Amino acid sequence: MAGVDRFSMGLRFLGGASLFLLLMLEVADRVVMKRDLEIARDIQRWLLPANPPQVPGLAIAFATRPANTVAGDLYDVFARPVNAAGQNGSDQPHFLLVMADVAGKSMPAALLMATIQASLKTLSSTSCSLAELVAGLNRYASANSLGGLRFTTAFLAEFDPGSRTLIYTNAGHNAPILRRSSGAIERLESGGMPLGIQADANYACGQVTLQSGDWLVIFTDGLVEAENTRAEEYGEQRLMNELQGGIGATPDELLHRIMSDLDLFVGTMPQHDDVTAMLVKVA
């Protein structure tokens, strides 16, 4: 009997040691995975602008809050090379204002976002119109969307500082809010379906002329669909109220006000989607 007991104890010891080893391996895997996510987060921060560039006639502020370590939201403001879009010999570059939201969250969405951003930068450096740029971006997204499962909503606008015209297209994205200095509200809706669903989709372009005192608010659905503990959404009306109450502020000040109001509304409810916003005020 003593031999049987020793054998049984030996088996239990081996079983415990094996379980401990498996737990240690799992912990090690989690540590490696966490480190990989942290590296991906740092790379994403490097890819996305920390501060907006100086754009003649505009004051800009933007902010993003990933739901996880990395995000599927893209935002950017950058100059196109002079004459890249047939700018009639002007020596003043045009500027692209971009916001996009890849379906899904975390690493898969972040990887697709990075490739779309790279494609956007490449296309924007060529001699093409905004409509041609978006069509090329859609073809690229369609070839890498897993049959439309990883589609991307996007808003892209090209600003001409000389004429203060803004040509834009909306690819299934939340319609940005244009608040005129008079108080009138316009929504920038012209465009087409999200990128990555149909390779030969057509995208219409809209055009507006910006005037001193106008505000443009561009955002992803994570902002207006954020929920509180009663499962109520933040909503566009609350966003509009903050905009109407803060027209005398700078974009940085108003953006801070909006994010603070969002925090107050959400309370202790966990964030379920990436939140990104860009505010533009016309000087």
Is 225's pLDDT higher than 90?
A: yes
Query: Which pLDDT band holds residue 32 (cuts at 50, 70, 90)?
Result: very low
Whole-number Å distance between alpha carbons of 68 and 270: 11
Whole-number Å distance between alpha carbons of 214 and 68: 34
Residues 102 and 155 in one domain: yes
Residues 22 and 83 in one domain: no
Interval 256-268 mean pLDDT? 96
Residues 227 and 102 in one domain: yes
- Length of the chain equals 283
Interval 11-23 mean pLDDT? 55
Read off the pLDDT of residues 156-210 as tens digits, 9 standing for 90 and up. Answer: 999 999 999 999 999 999 999 999 999 999 999 999 999 999 999 999 999 999 9
Whole-number Å distance between alpha carbons of 11 and 14: 5
Res 46: pLDDT:
55
Angle in degrees, 0-180, between the axes of helices 235-245 and 251-266, rounded to the nearest 10: 140
Res 78: pLDDT:
95
Residues 241 and 109 in one domain: yes
Is 246's pLDDT higher than 50?
A: yes
191-192 vs 165-171, strand pairing mode: parallel
Q: In the beta sheet, which residues pair with residue 143?
A: none
Residues 212 and 118 in one domain: yes
DSSP 155: E
Q: How high is the mean pLDDT of the chain?
A: 84
> Does residue 53 sit in helix, strand or coil?
coil
Read off the pLDDT of residues 19-29 as tens digits, 9 standing for 90 and up. Answer: 555 555 555 54
Q: Which domain holds residue 33?
A: 1-47
Read off the pLDDT of residues 87-134 as tens digits, 9 standing for 90 and up. Answer: 544 568 999 999 999 886 666 777 778 888 888 999 998 889 999 999
Read off the pLDDT of residues 35-88 as tens digits, 9 standing for 90 and up. Answer: 544 545 555 565 678 899 999 999 999 999 887 766 678 899 999 976 555 554
Q: In the beta sheet, which residues pair with residue 208?
A: 166
Taking the model in full, what pTM does it have?
Answer: 0.82
In total, how many domains does the chain have? 2
- Among residues 31, 47, 63, which one ends one of the domains? 47
